[in-house]
Structures are given as C-alpha cells and as structure tokens.
Amino acid sequence: MSIEVSMTVPEGLRSLVKAVSVLRADDPAAGERPPLVHLPDPDTSLIFRTTSAGHSDLLVIGPRTRASYHVGKDIPFCLRLRLRPGATRPLLGVPVNEVVDRVVHLGALWGTSSDPLNAALGHAGDDEGLVLKHLESALSARTSADRARGELVRAAIRALRGRTHERREPLPAVARHLAVSERHLRALFADAIGLSPKRFERIERVRKALTLARTNGPPWADLAVATGYYDQSHMTAEFRTLMGVTPAAFFEGRLPALQPC
C-alpha cells in the first residue's frame, strides 16, 4: 500500500514548480503490490525515487498522451515535482516535445552537470526535506527562464483549460485573444508543453471527467455535458482512446493487461 501526500512547494521553487508530492510505501516487502496506473497527463515532472536495495534515480517524466498500466514496483520512496510549463523548457535544456511519452534520466539531458546533484540525492535517501533542498539549489541555479514567454505559456494554458468545460472556441480566436498567431501558439505548445493544443485539450478533458466521476459517479451522460463533450458517445470514444478502456470498465477495475514498468 502506498500513500501519496502533497507538500508545500518551497518558496525558492515556486516560479519553477507548481506542485510537490511524496509517495511512500507502507511496507515495500509485504504483500502483493497494486498495479501502477499512469493517467494521461499534460505536465512534465521531475521524479526522485529510491528502492529498498538502496538504488536511486532522478528522472524526467514527459507528458503522457495515453494511460498506461504496469505491474507494481519496489519503490518505497518517490518525490515528484510537477514543473510549471513556462519553466520546463529552460530547465530541461531541450524542447518538451522531445520527452513526450518518455521517461528520461536527467543526466541524459544535463550531461555531467547533473553528477553533483545525483550524488547529493543519493546521500539524502528518503529524507524529503533534504531532497527538496538539493533540488531547489540545483534547479534555481539551472534556469534563467524568459518571464514574458513563461507568462504567455501560462495564459495559453488557462485559455485552453477553460475550453474543456464548455463548447470550444476556435483555436484561431484563442490565439487572437493572446495576441499571437495560431502558428506561433502551436509552436509554443510543442516547445514548452510538448503537445499540440488539441491534444492538450483532450487530455485535460479526460482528466476532468475522471475527477468528476470519482466525486459524483455516473450517470455518464451528465458527466459528458459537464466536461464539454458533445454527448456520452463522444466522451466514451475519447476516454477509450486515451485510457484504453471505457469509463465504466475503468471504474469497475477492468483494466488492460499490465505491462512491465
């Protein structure tokens, strides 16, 4: 059994990180591990995790365009930093579309400059406060994000998230409201978010449907209307595409075959 707990984002990371959480396993050696369900996700995350054998990894988890289902792993401690879209590109040093649907060791992006951070984190183990302190120091030194560009990214995200709860405004109109061309908006999303605006919307809408279904449950037709789908069949088709199963099957626990992680 694992418990994920949200933490306060340290003041020095608030311009770079929008959320921090820690996942701890009660007893990684006891009992059968539950399956790992990774939802579609437009965010890029930085993950530090340890194993009971004493190994550790510092990973970049790129945006996920579809759900994946994996056999549970021996991960007693895992700290996740959800990166702010406007800061992700300068932090990684590469366009975000290069890490979509990928898990990449940070060292593959930073090269040997990540070695001191990896060494410090290895000594920190599962001390979440010390892990955050090391990450704050390294990330703050790494980034010199363009503030105006970062704000444009965040404004675009707010505009597109608003469209997932109502009938869609054409993308050219969203671009005009942001005082950029549609071409520039698409290029901005590919570089800073890693996704096209349309794919970003689809993922956000499915995640919203999941949240409302957990809170309110069926009927599915009402849920489809509340999340901006044309009707229930539209929602079911989109859900199956991104999640691999229908909404009813997912909430009944009838998941696709689990894959090695």
Q: What pLDDT does residue 150 have?
A: 76
Q: What pLDDT does residue 146 have?
A: 62
Q: How big, in percent rounded to 5, are the helix, strand and coil portions of the chain?
A: 50, 20, 35
Q: Cα separation of 181 and 176, whole Å?
A: 7
CA-to-CA dists, residue 166 to 205, 225, 231, angstroms: 10, 8, 12
Q: What pLDDT does residue 121 have?
A: 93
Q: Cα separation of 182 and 184, whole Å?
A: 5
Q: What pLDDT does residue 87 have?
A: 85
> Which two structure tokens, joined as six digits, stand for 181?
């061309």
The number of beta carbons lying within 10 Å of the beta carbon of residue 106 is 22
Q: What pLDDT does residue 32 have?
A: 67
Start-to-end Cα distance in the chain: 18
Q: What are the 10-residue block averages of pLDDT along the chain, 261 residues in total?
A: 81 92 70 81 95 87 94 86 89 92 94 91 90 92 68 83 62 86 90 91 92 87 88 94 95 88 66
